[in-house]
Structure 1
């Protein structure tokens, strides 16, 4: 399954990421690139946070759903695909339609078999499992060893109303893993942190980047700078090899 997070892609690049591009289609397009829909041909594509898709692209997505065809940026050639589409949104799309931010016809084409997940505040029994999962995820990502969550911390997390749902919980746990000392998860400045809607403060982003850079370097040294393969650094870090290489470029990590 091909996954696309519509909030993670810059608005000026989302079209080329989804539908592909030809060399020279725009400044910086120095090579042909297949889009996510081409990569998903014969399978499934998951469009996360579909409500964030720019309005001007929604008609192109509607055409793919209805006719199974599109053109790459910079190309007149029509490409046909057979793709199953799963879409998710943290927004109420009916409200987005009324506000003029989402196409009604696209909504009805996507809303064939809807599954509504109750907000996190209505399923507090899931919070302990989610906390365990996110702690393990960020332990691995930044090389921490948080092993326990106190009853007081878990109780505080379960009593909060989580307007940002699971994504807000994930951001709070990520921040807590970064700032916790020792092996016990500590959610500091509870109300200030939660009112932040899950966004990391600037200094925390820098700390996370420094920790991630150090952790990647340690794992690369441990694997003899082998990136791919069963025992390669990418597997140990839980990343795709291409993602690991991109982060190495981002942090300027090179073998000397």
Structure 2
């Protein structure tokens, strides 16, 4: 019987092929672990720290443009308190947004959007939220307009550089109002004052135009897209400086 022997070269190459295969598998395992960890970290950041939204309307022009993408600090208001002038994203308190049907989206697109929304890179629920500027804190007395067309908070007139008004208009609101913000609520208005369905126009809704603090998702702090509009969102503390705290109820 003839005995077949493997060439010496083949004997030495077999361990090398096994080593390369094992190295490839370890590399793929490490890549998978890195991907899963990155996905988990992104999910935690999106859930507890930062979230992305897009701007669907002109109510905040010229501060924000339609289709701008913004990043929202979700530590506000649970960890970091709200302040007058903050640009806040909040869930519809009820009746502010018209009913809308979900658009038909191809399954592959819907799946990709769902994955991106997990890490905060998609803003699939922006249609369920609104964005306005916080004007009145709980207990504040907010009135418009005085003889100069200004709004006042606790009797202090506001000079608002961020407001967009029609040409020739001086009143910062076409609708007069005189409100006291209830506890655990805020009064919000769009910067595009004559084109914003904000607290003024929702007085007949269940919340009387006020937004519960619990509905506030966070404070918008930066425009992330498009790059041409990139910038920090200012809450203009100089506008609200010197406003006293609300008067104690009698």
Smaller-chain TM-score bracket: under 0.3
TM-score by length of 1: 0.20
Which structure shows the higher strand fraction? 2
Which structure shows the higher helix fraction? 1
Q: Which of these two proteins has the greater Rg computed from alpha carbons?
A: 2
